[in-house]
């Protein structure tokens, strides 16, 4: 009887021990999985931190590059602005150079005419010489875009004419028209350089 009891007890002990061992294995497995998950989480966090740091470093490098580019462009623009100001100042100072150079031969002709006037006995020849110089001067002016206004018999127009006085028109056709010009007007290309001073018929 005692042998049977002992066997039963042993079997019961074995049965109780088996679930305990199984439970220990499960606990170990859970603990291992938990440890692995913790390790993986830590690794993921480290990777995320590294990725963020890399992105930040790249962003800072790009900012530095853009700042350098901005400074370069600003310096380039400053140089361009200074050059334009200098060119503009030179243009203002030397803008009339071309016209003045074109007038120099006319001045030379006038000086020669004055020298000949002192010795000349033929007034007609002197008059002819002065007339040639005048025509030459007009050609120089035309080459620069300066032309005389045609006023004789033209309709009075305040865009081109300045009325110095009014005079009774000799005929009905001349009413409201230019009868006489006391000072010639000039155009520079398509703009008025000087208004013509005229007498208007009424």
- pLDDT for residue 139 is more than 90: yes
30 vs 188, residue with greater confidence? 188
Cβ contacts of 113 within 8 Å, gap of 6 or more: 126, 129, 130, 133
b/e sequence 172-191, b meaning 16+ C-beta within 10 Å: eebeebbbebeeebebeeee
* C-alpha to C-alpha distance for 144 and 187, rounded to whole angstroms: 11
pTM of the model: 0.54
* Coil/strand/helix, residue 150: coil
51: number of CA atoms within 13 Å, CB side?
A: 6
Cβ contacts of 79 within 8 Å, gap of 6 or more: none
Residue pair 192/160 in contact (Cβ under 8 Å)? The answer is: yes
46 vs 82, residue with greater confidence? 82
Distance between first and last Cα of the chain: 163
* C-alpha to C-alpha distance for 68 and 86, rounded to whole angstroms: 27
Residue pair 82/90 in contact (Cβ under 8 Å)? The answer is: no
* C-alpha to C-alpha distance for 167 and 181, rounded to whole angstroms: 12
Task: Report which of 130, 144, 137, 140 is spatially closest to residue 188, judged by C-alpha positions.
Answer: 144
Percent of the chain with pLDDT over 70: 77
Residue 9's pLDDT is 55
- pLDDT for residue 101 is more than 80: yes
- CATH 3.40.50.150 for domain 147-202, yes or no, is no
Band (pLDDT 50/70/90 cuts) for residue 119 is confident
10 vs 65, residue with greater confidence? 65
């Amino acid at each position: 009887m005692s042998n049977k009891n002992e066997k039963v007890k042993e079997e019961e002990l074995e049965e109780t021990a088996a679930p305990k061992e199984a439970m220990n294995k499960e606990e170990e497995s859970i603990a291992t999985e938990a440890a692995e998950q913790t390790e993986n989480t830590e690794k993921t966090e480290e990777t995320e931190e590294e990725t963020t740091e890399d992105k930040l470093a790249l962003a800072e490098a790009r900012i530095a590059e853009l700042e350098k580019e901005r400074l370069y462009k600003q310096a380039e623009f400053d140089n361009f602005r200074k050059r334009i100001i200098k060119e503009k100042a030179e243009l203002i100072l030397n803008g009339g150079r071309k016209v003045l150079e074109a007038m120099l031969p006319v001045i030379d002709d006038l000086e020669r005419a004055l020298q000949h006037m002192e010795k000349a006995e033929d007034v007609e020849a002197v008059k002819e010489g002065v007339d040639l110089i005048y025509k030459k001067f007009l050609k120089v002016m035309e080459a620069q875009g300066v032309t005389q206004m045609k006023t004789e018999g033209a309709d009075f127009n305040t865009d081109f004419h300045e009325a110095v006085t009014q005079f009774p028109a000799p005929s009905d056709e001349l009413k409201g028209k230019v009868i006489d010009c006391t000072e010639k007007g000039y155009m520079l290309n398509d703009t008025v350089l000087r208004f013509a001073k005229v007498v208007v018929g009424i």
